[in-house]
Amino acid sequence: MKQTRLKQYYDFTSLMEGDETKTIGAVETSLALVRAVERLDEPRLTVLADELNVSKSTVHHHAATLVQGGFLSKRGDAYEIGPLFLQLGNHARQNEQLYRLGKYEVQQLAHETKALVYVGIEWDKRGVLLYQSSGTPPEETESKLGTQIALPTTAAGKAILSQMSEDRVDEILAFEESPQPRVSRTELADELSEIRDRQVAFDDGEHLPGVRSVAAPINISEEANPGAISVSAPVDRMDERRFRKEFPSLIRNAAVVIEQNSTSPIIESPE
């Protein structure tokens, strides 16, 4: 029997709430197949079978089911992510209060700073980008919505981590998909403590060389996942004054407005 590499594409253990929680192998295979199609460039059946180290008949049966359900599309012999995920992704994003509350502030701040601004949250040990807007033509720093925010190395990620206990931070850093910090655990703990005090986080080319970011933590409620709002721009458009003074003030003010709106009867950001 083949030894599969499904875990490379889907961390099933992260879904378990305890040792008694059981998962369904066939569903795991389908989910791993979807993730593989997402990461590869229009893969064919043989490529997917080799990538997941399962038989071609296994890939065929799972892929056919997913195509029929709208989760995958097939163009010739190649597979792509299906259009149904657009609907599901939008529904998932609409469920996040930070998206609904933060969309307008992101748009306004992007227009004011002429930089890339986004909001994101922590979900299941990952940082997830919910919404972004650029005040200039498309930035080289832009990411696809829903993609992972590097929690230990970006300003937004560190602003999110600053809202967590030390044990939770250690748990996230131990997660196999988590990017690792560029500093020691002690240095990261000191930095997170400073972020809690000043309510602003910085990334001076730590995540992407030549790109600076400033972020502020957002705590909507005890039930909501910790979030952050961030502004990013190349160094030539975010000089030292903007990086250390102007943008921290703007980003913190935006975070405060979002937090205040979460506790008031104000109408959430329009679509």
Residue 270 domain-assigned (yes or no): no
The reply to whether 154 and 69 lie within a common domain is: no
User: Which residues have CB under 8 Å from 44's CB, separation 6+?
Assistant: 77, 78, 79
Residue 157 has pLDDT above 80, yes or no: yes
* Boundary of a domain, candidates 27, 58, 82: 82
> Do 119 and 227 contact (CB within 8 A), yes or no?
yes
Residue 212 has pLDDT above 70, yes or no: yes
Domain of residue 230, residue span: 89-262
Bridge partners of 132? 118
Residue 216 has pLDDT above 90, yes or no: yes
The reply to whether 35 and 97 lie within a common domain is: no
Residue 217 domain-assigned (yes or no): yes
Residue 62 domain-assigned (yes or no): yes
The reply to whether 128 and 211 lie within a common domain is: yes
CA count, 13 A, side-chain hemisphere, 169: 22
Residue 220 domain-assigned (yes or no): yes
The reply to whether 97 and 181 lie within a common domain is: yes
The reply to whether 184 and 237 lie within a common domain is: yes
* Boundary of a domain, candidates 31, 61, 82: 82
What digits encode the pLDDT tens for the residues 81-140?
A: 998 988 888 888 888 889 999 999 999 999 999 999 999 999 888 889 999 999 776 555
Higher pLDDT, 162 or 185: 162
The reply to whether 107 and 191 lie within a common domain is: yes
CA count, 13 A, side-chain hemisphere, 146: 10
* Boundary of a domain, candidates 82, 111, 128: 82
Task: Catalogue the E-assigned strands of the chain.
Answer: 72-75, 78-81, 116-123, 126-134, 148-149, 201-204, 211-218, 227-234
pLDDT of residue 144: 62
> Do 125 and 170 contact (CB within 8 A), yes or no?
no
> Do 195 and 158 contact (CB within 8 A), yes or no?
yes
pLDDT of residue 8: 54
pLDDT of residue 69: 92
pLDDT of residue 18: 46
The reply to whether 101 and 174 lie within a common domain is: yes
Q: Which range is least confidently modeled, 18-27, 44-53, 231-240, 247-256?
A: 18-27
What digits encode the pLDDT tens for the residues 7-38?
A: 555 554 444 444 455 678 889 999 999 989 98
Residue with the two structure tokens 């890339």: 116
Average pLDDT, the chain: 86
The reply to whether 54 and 96 lie within a common domain is: no
pTM of the predicted model as reported, rounded to 2 decimal places? 0.77
pLDDT of residue 17: 42
CATH of the domain at 78: 1.10.10.10
Residue with the two structure tokens 């925010």: 149
The reply to whether 93 and 78 lie within a common domain is: no
